[in-house]
Amino acid sequence: MANPIQISIIIPVYQGEKTLPKLVGELIAYSQIQMTKLGNPYIINDIILVHDCGFDCSDKVIEELSELYSVVRPLWLSKNFGQHPATMAGMASATGDWIVTLDEDGQQDPTYIAGMLDEALSKSLQVVYALPTNPPPHGFLRNIFSVLAKSIFQKLSGNVMSKYFNSFRMIDGEIARTLAAYSGNGIYLDVGLLWVSSRIGSFPVVLRDEDRPSGYSYGKLMSHFWRLILTSGTRPLRLITLLGFFSLMIAFITSIIALYDKILGNVPVQGWTSLFIIVSFFSGAIMLSLGIVAEYLAITMSIAMGKPLYVIATKPSRPQQNT
């Protein structure tokens, strides 16, 4: 038998106190050599649990799991950096030929890993996203917003692969480690993958019900979406140019209409109403443009000042709770 393909599992942990034992227990079954349907031998060689400093007792659970299973490796972050930086930290420390990222809430089924591996190898893909065939268990309104966000990003970025964005993904190990090593602060993982890989595919999966409610509020999801837009490239900046052109066209057309009514139509032109509308419109356009530019400058300054994407500690760090 050929040497098995080694797979590293990355799980960013924020509120995994109750869900991690079950998920890790499922993954342990694949820490012995397995065979895919297409005859590819594989093995999960390490399960990296990245502690992102949540408010529960996830750190204690991670320590217990690492003592119980030799393939489980804890990775402690110095503070809460967020899901994508935590995933990057795990990828930088992974050793597998392929890297699979999973959420901690149990909705993503590890049994599909073998199929994703076959898909990657048979089609020479660099990244394989899980493609849910059923609606995510988040509720109708949130699912609608998710579809809308992906559609907006696809239009802005011009990349059709963005429709596959999902936290359940399989990535070529070399690409994942290279991306994690060179990514700066504020990077959105899936956008980074678009930068360094061209062969991207998907594999159909069925999502399970979450073992706990999602930790993402609508405010956090909106912030997540805005960061996705800002890190997608310079296309949003081009919208400012289009907005400026559109504003000039409105001003020009309004001027022509006013001159026509005044000179040829002998109609008195009321000044205050039209002046208020024009000033309000252009003021809003200017403020919107300045806001977008400022957001880009903030990200650029964070990178230029050397703000790290993540910091790995030697022991778990739990944030102090307000009393």
- Cα angle: 243, vertex 248, 254; to 5 degrees: 125
Question: Cα–Cα distances in Å, from 148 out to 141, 162, 211, 238?
Answer: 11, 12, 26, 21
- Cβ-contact 40, 117 below 8 angstroms: yes
Number of domains in the chain: 2
Place of tokens 């790995």: 312
Query: Within 10 A of 293 (CB to CB), how many other CB atoms are there?
Result: 13
pLDDT (average), residues 36-53:
95
- Cβ-contact 33, 41 below 8 angstroms: yes
Residues 182 and 45 in one domain: yes
Q: Is 19 or 301 the better-scoring residue by pLDDT?
A: 19
Average model confidence (pLDDT) across the chain:
80
| pLDDT tens-digit map of 96-105 | 999 999 999 8
Question: Cα–Cα distances in Å, from 176 out to 157, 226, 252?
Answer: 21, 24, 51
Q: What is the CATH number of the domain that holds 134?
A: 3.90.550.10
Residues 265 and 219 in one domain: no
Residue finishing a domain among 202, 232, 262: 232
Percent of the chain residues topping a pLDDT of 90:
41
- Cβ-contact 7, 100 below 8 angstroms: yes
Residues 271 and 170 in one domain: no
Q: Is 87 or 290 the better-scoring residue by pLDDT?
A: 87
Query: 281 is written with which tokens?
Result: 């419109």
Phi, psi of 158 (to 5 degrees): 75, 15
Residues 192 and 150 in one domain: yes
Backbone conformation region of residue 269, classed left if phi is above 0, alpha if psi is from -120 to 50, else beta = beta
Residues 276 and 264 in one domain: yes
pLDDT score recorded for residue 323: 42
Residues 89 and 169 in one domain: yes
Q: Is 213 or 200 the better-scoring residue by pLDDT?
A: 200
Structural domain that includes position 271: 235-304
Q: At a CB cut-off of 8 Å and minimum separation 6, what does 198 contact?
A: 126
User: Which range has the worst mean pLDDT, 24-28, 71-75, 136-140, 310-314?
Assistant: 136-140
Band (250; pLDDT cuts 50, 70, 90)? confident
Q: How far apart are CA 21 and CA 86, in angstroms?
A: 19
Interior/surface letters 29-48, b for 16+ CB within 10 angstroms, e for the rest = ebbeebebeeebebbbbbbb
Name the E strands within 62-183: 72-77, 98-101, 127-132, 169-172
Residues 9 and 145 in one domain: yes
Q: At a CB cut-off of 8 Å and minimum separation 6, what does 153 contact?
A: 162, 165, 225, 228, 229, 232
Band (68; pLDDT cuts 50, 70, 90)? very high
Residues 86 and 123 in one domain: yes
Q: How far apart are CA 193 and CA 228, in angstroms?
A: 13
- Cβ-contact 53, 26 below 8 angstroms: no
Read off the DSSP letter of residue 270. P
- Cβ-contact 34, 41 below 8 angstroms: yes
Residues 206 and 136 in one domain: yes
Select from 15, 75, 69, 24 the least CA-distant residue to 215: 15
Q: How far apart are CA 218 and CA 221, in angstroms?
A: 5
In a domain, 320, yes or no: no
Q: How far apart are CA 64 and CA 81, in angstroms?
A: 23
Q: How far apart are CA 47 and CA 99, in angstroms?
A: 10
Residues 36 and 81 in one domain: yes
Residues 49 and 82 in one domain: yes
Residues 227 and 258 in one domain: no
